[in-house]
Chains A and B, each alone.
Chain A
Amino acid sequence: MKSIKKFDYYILLETITPLIAVIIALLVGAIVIMLIGEDPVFVYKTLFGYAIGNRDGWGNVLFRATPLIFTGLTVAFAFRCGLFNIGGEGQMYIGTFLATWVGFTFTNLPALILIPLCILTAAAGGALWAAVPGILKAKMGVHEVIVTIMMNWIASSLTFFLVLKFKAQPTEAMAAAGVKQMIPHTKEIAEAARLPRLYNILHSLNIDFPAYNQVNVSFFIAIGVAILVYYILWKTNLGYEIRAVGYNPLAAEYGGISVAKNIVLAMMISGAIAGLVGTNEVMGFKYRWRQELFTGLGFNGIAVALLGKNHPLGVVLAAILFGILNYGGALVNIYTAGRIPRELIMVLQAVIVIFVVISDEVVKRLIRQRRKVV
């Protein structure tokens, strides 16, 4: 009986390691803040106080968490199959651009058809882009890490080419002033392709919420996808096969599971989730594609997945934490008049990742030793 109690204690320790890592990272951040001559207490108070202190803050946090839930699930899903899909950025680019294209091309479709069509296109685009490294890995054994990164850069160039093809006409005011588009963007998607903002829903329920807040229905899509990922991975045959390949590909193959098929499928599902970032960024927020060099959403997804221990629930929680950090970081930047660059948050995120990885290993070792002793 006693040994079982001990065992539980270590399981608990394992689940809270991410928390320890976050606390250590915040301490490291505090040192950095002190080094540049600012007050860490004030900075953290601003960061957390404004980010989660009111409804507007929460809305902004969830709006920023939404794409990270998608990209975090992207990494987590592939990881369950033993794959490192660090090409979320590129998959997100292709999926989002295609969805935008559908959104501004088929403008006479009703919302009931156009919205699902855009969502499906976003997923299909991401899946297509992820299929390439998946097939190369499954059929030829090419390591997916390098291929997915290369595909990110190719996607960036390809969408740049496409956005110039479908560039929006300058507005009359812009044309009159002779202003050019600083960052090339497409025209806006149809009204019928837009997702309602949370404000619209809450307003109709007579709940007070700021109208300018950008959080939209995409957040619920993200939560739905997280549940779906859980269901696929742990409640279906496909998920069982994918996880078996992830645990031990040789044993899986011996057990009659096709490793190649599952690798390709896992990559495609993972890429499809990345493509869905478009539901938040375009369908719920900008309503058009704007060409920007890597927004970092894909890469932050890696950190989110690690922090969330590659579990859907963990991913959602980690994404919300990163949402707080991102939004709070931007506020800190404003409230300190730019003395603290918002990139501090990127540094914090990287420190979190390193400590999650290290504390994970340390705890695993502790448990192993303990088990041997028992």
Chain B
Amino acid sequence: MFGDIFNAQFVASSIRVAIPLALAGLGGVYSERSGVVNIGLEGMILTGAFTAIAVTNFSGNPWVGVLAAILVGILLGLIHAVTCITFKANQIVSGVAINLFASGITIFLCWLLFGETQIMVKSSLPIWGIPLPNIGEGSVFVRNIIVMFAHHSPLVYLTIIIFILSHIILYKTPFGLRLRSVGEYPQAADTMGVNIVKMRYIAVMTSGALAGLAGSFLSLEQAHFFVKEMSGGRGFIALAAMIFGKWTPFGTAGAALLFGVGEALAMRLQGVLAIPVQFIHMVPYLLAIFVLVSAIGRATPPAADGIPYEKEIG
């Protein structure tokens, strides 16, 4: 039984489940490090998921779909930025509005363009990596390694690159230093000549792009279809991962993997243990609450997180 559950496929599926959470969580890192809370991630994932499939089916090219999902994510990020940064409105409320908007517009367009509420993907991205050797041919060990790490959607490798780049950008470049300073102590950053509004716009739009990419992975690569509300709370689980990962790229990736393992495990236990499937479905959400509780006292948010910046005059 143990071997049936914990095999190479298990690792591979954990990684796949973790990808959208990690990408959206990283979006949260950018946004909150600059001082803007973004609970609109959920809606951005959903819209990205829909856009990716819709554009793929119209253009026939999944790469165009991925690109479109990123662009739509940026657009929603822009809306969030305008409301929260320019108009200094409540960030949670703006995020909620984006989520409402996303639920409505995706089904609205789905009806309008396809005449149904669920669409199948016509073509997916190719699998990249080393071709799988046939069973019996070559060693089992090598085959397992390939299944786990070298036989994935290109977006999986892209995610890994994005994470390494993000770590470098946030911690090794002047841009990253400015971004973090804007979220910690904007008054000081302002005095040093950092353009707070510009930094926050960039951060929030980046977070939208990452959430859009997360959505495209979810629909194109994981589910192969779009259905209403398919984001299933992932935007919020991603935020839990971000908090557990202490607002750092690698920490967030680690936490997302934890969720990946949890969900993959739950899916596998379904056939093994006599647990009703509904309880299996609760696992990611229970895990998110558990993770949040255990992060208390360990994780401190950026000091200016969620506070609109008011320039002091006179």
Seen from chain A, the residues whose Cβ lies within 8 Å of a Cβ on chain B are 36, 84, 86, 136, 140-143, 145-147, 149-154, 157-158, 160-161, 164, 293-294, 296, 299-300, 302-303, 306, 338, 341, 343-347, 349-351, 353-354, 357-358, 360-362
Contacts and interface: CB of A to CB of B under 8 A. Distances in A.
A294 B296 CA distance: 30
17 contacts: A149-B233, A150-B288, A150-B289, A151-B289, A153-B233, A158-B278, A164-B278, A299-B103, A303-B100, A338-B111, A341-B108, A343-B105, A346-B108, A354-B79, A354-B97, A357-B89, A360-B89
Contacts of A341: 107-108, 111-112
B94 A136 contact: no
Closest 10 CB pairs of A and B: A346-B104, A350-B101, A343-B108, A341-B111, A161-B278, A353-B97, A350-B100, A150-B285, A347-B104, A357-B89
Contacts of B24: none
Contact of A143 (B233, B279, B292): B292
A353 B96 contact: yes
A344 B237 CA distance: 28
A338 B117 CA distance: 13
Interface in B116-152: none
Given A149-B233, A341-B112, A353-B93, A361 B289 contact: no
Contact of A154 (B239, B282, B292): B282
Contacts of B296: 140-142
B39 A145 contact: yes
A145 B282 CA distance: 18
Contacts of A151: 285, 289
Q: In this complex, which of A300, A341, A345 has the most chain B Cβ atoms within 10 angstroms of its Cβ?
A: A341
A344 B282 contact: no
A337 B98 CA distance: 29
B92 interface: yes
How many chain B residues sit at the interface, stated as a range, is: 35 or more
Contact of B229 (A86, A142, A157, A293): A293
Contacts of B285: 150-151, 153-154
B195 interface: no
Interface string B65-103: 000000000000001000100011110111011111101
Given A150-B286, A341-B107, 19 more contacts: A86-B96, A136-B293, A142-B293, A150-B236, A150-B237, A150-B289, A151-B285, A152-B233, A157-B279, A158-B282, A161-B276, A161-B278, A299-B100, A341-B111, A353-B97, A353-B100, A354-B97, A361-B89, A362-B87
Q: In this complex, which of A140, A154, A300 has the most chain B Cβ atoms within 10 angstroms of its Cβ?
A: A154
A321 to B, nearest CB: 15
A296 B101 CA distance: 12
Given A154-B285, A158-B282, A341-B107, A350 B97 contact: yes
Contacts of B154: none
Contact of B278 (A150, A157, A303, A361): A157
Nearest to B39: A145
A136 B239 CA distance: 17
B240 interface: yes
A347 B105 contact: yes
A343 B111 contact: yes
Contacts of B103: 296, 299, 346
B281 interface: yes
A153 B79 CA distance: 27
Given A346-B107, A358-B83, A146 B288 contact: yes
Q: In this complex, which of A141, A153, A160, A294 has the most chain B Cβ atoms within 10 angstroms of its Cβ?
A: A153
B229 A357 contact: no
Contact of B108 (A143, A149, A306, A344): A344
Contact of A146 (B93, B276, B292): B292
B240 A153 contact: no
Given A161-B276, A343-B107, A147 B292 contact: yes
Contacts of A338: 111
Contacts of B288: 146, 150
Contacts of B87: 357-358, 361-362
A247 to B, nearest CB: 15
Contacts of A303: 97, 100
Contacts of B278: 157-158, 160-161, 164
B192 to A, nearest CB: 27
A358 B91 CA distance: 11
Given A157-B282, A306-B93, A361-B88, A147 B108 contact: no
A153 B94 CA distance: 22
Nearest to B93: A357
Interface string B217-235: 0000000000001001100
Contacts of B104: 343-347, 349-350
A157 B279 CA distance: 7
B100 A153 contact: no
Q: In this complex, which of A136, A146, A294, A358 has the most chain B Cβ atoms within 10 angstroms of its Cβ?
A: A146
A301 to B, nearest CB: 11
Contacts of B276: 161, 164
A118 to B, nearest CB: 24
A344 B232 CA distance: 22
Contacts of A354: 79, 83, 94, 97, 101
A147 B285 CA distance: 9
Contacts of B105: 343, 346-347, 350
A357 B108 contact: no
A357 B90 contact: yes
A338 B103 CA distance: 19
Contact of A347 (B88, B94, B108): B108
